[in-house]
Amino acid sequence: MELLEKQHMNTSWDFRTANTKTYTHCYHNYPAMMIPQIAERLIVKYGKNAKTLFDPYCGTGTSLVEAILKSINAIGTDLNPLARLIAKTKTAKIELQILDLYLKEFNDFSFSLNFGINEPNIVIPNFKNIDFWFSKKTQNKLAIIKQFIDNISDKNVKDLFYVAFSETVRESSFTRNSEFKLYRIPEKQREKFNPDAFSMIISKLARNRRGLIDYLDKTKYINAKAQIFGFNTVETIENIPEKSIEIIVTSPPYGDSRTTVAYGQFSRLSNQWLGIENANQIDNKLMGGKISNIHKFGINIVDEIIEKIAIKDNKRAREVYSFYKDYYKSINNVSATLKSGGYACYVVGNRKVKGMTLPTDKITRAFFEANDFEYKNTFIRNIPNKRMPSKNSPTNEIGKTETTMNNEYIVVMRKY
């Protein structure tokens, strides 16, 4: 009874017509991004007098930016180096004057290339399958741009260029851009595809500069700082002292990367161009990446659903179990960082496996309750401006999709 009363379908959380690309939120696309307006509302509602917000799966840093805009220090962690680069850049106060000098230099440089005035010696990166994903012409252009960026001495400006470069890499590759996973466009399309990486990056830089100007204006009198780490929330949360955080606002992955959103695969080409080692291994390291044998949690809601799946398909049950096992461990770690009276706000999705809906909202509640938290609320929202496909690939077979979810659940818990 109590559970029902506290669960609200509340369309005001849909933010159907909201502009989700304000400030630095416009910098870079990413799968399953949080809507900034959700983070903002949660911070206003549950973060009164908060000094520090923590996002344990910060992705591109949506909630971190919103914390800074409210004068709250922000700490984020993510295992994906590309996500960290974007989050760091989105929360940085980049000096506009220095940026403008480099933008002018870059424009002049690309102009001079058109006239053959400047013929740089370029080094094409040596990663597997580069010829599969990029034409030789595009490889040359990207290598020239990358070399220019590598030589920028201002760290923040350099990162802003890398972020625009990353989107350019993806868009100038043979990837189908409508997909988060890497699928190559057919040969006929590849033959005609002749992207201009220079004009692409120039227009992205111009867009991001406009976002930066708004961000700098809004944060003129704000001194709050962001720190972004790369630790695995399942293993340990280093650097964050116990009971030091007042509010957590986060959107964890919906499931393992193989069968839900492949963050590592989405980022792979960018990470490879940026020189990140083992860029093709990231998805295995994310939650649910390692399959293990099923053990009981001793928590009915999760044990029951895994049992039901196991009757139909034991392999899928092990995959689901492995994800929740990691999720449970990470909630234990995250819980310890929160002060007594602090709030944990988790935006989760209830995906379907083998035709059964996984009640991740209720499982999130149960995992926090096992860590001495009180359940406060669940706001149920429609996903109108979807940042992930409602059709997913539950079997991971190319082309085989299933409608997965149309709602998100914002679960609010309070530490005793």
Query: Which residues are near ligand SAM by CB under 6 A?
Result: 30, 32-34, 57, 59-60, 62, 77-80, 83, 232-234, 251, 253, 263, 286-287
CB 39, min distance to ligand SAM, A: 8
CB 272, min distance to ligand SAM, A: 16
Give whichever of 80 and 377 is closer to ligand SAM, judged by the CB atom.
80
Residue with tokens 């201002």, as numbered in its chain: 154
CB 263, min distance to ligand SAM, A: 4
Give whichever of 32 and 152 is closer to ligand SAM, judged by the CB atom.
32
CA distance 280 to 369: 36
Give whichever of 197 and 262 is closer to ligand SAM, judged by the CB atom.
262
Q: Using CB atoms, what's the residue nearest to ligand SAM?
A: 59
Give whichever of 84 and 141 is closer to ligand SAM, judged by the CB atom.
84
CA distance 242 to 239: 9
For residue 352, the one-letter residue type is K
CB 165, min distance to ligand SAM, A: 18
CA distance 19 to 13: 14
Phi-psi region of 239 (alpha: psi -120 to 50; beta: other; left: phi over 0): left
Which three-class secondary structure string do you get for 256-324?
CCCCCCCHHHHHHHHHHHCCCCCHHHHHHHCCCCCCCCCCCCCCHHHHHHHHHHHHHCHHHHHHHHHHH
For 64-112, where are the E strands, in sequence order? 73-77
CA distance 196 to 26: 21
CB 152, min distance to ligand SAM, A: 25
- Reported as half-sphere exposure (CB side, CA atoms, 13 A), residue 218 has a value of 18
- What's the CA angle centered on 341, arms 325 and 45, to 5 degrees? 95
CB 100, min distance to ligand SAM, A: 27
* Tokens of residue 301, six digits: 């809601």
CB 415, min distance to ligand SAM, A: 21
Give whichever of 66 and 246 is closer to ligand SAM, judged by the CB atom.
66
Q: Residue 387: name the closest of 18, 12, 7 by CA.
A: 18
Give whichever of 79 and 344 is closer to ligand SAM, judged by the CB atom.
79
374-393 per-residue burial string, b: 16 or more CB within 10 A, e: under 16: ebebbbbbbbeeebbbeebb
* Tokens of residue 390, six digits: 């409602």
Give whichever of 59 and 195 is closer to ligand SAM, judged by the CB atom.
59
CB 65, min distance to ligand SAM, A: 9
Give whichever of 110 and 283 is closer to ligand SAM, judged by the CB atom.
283
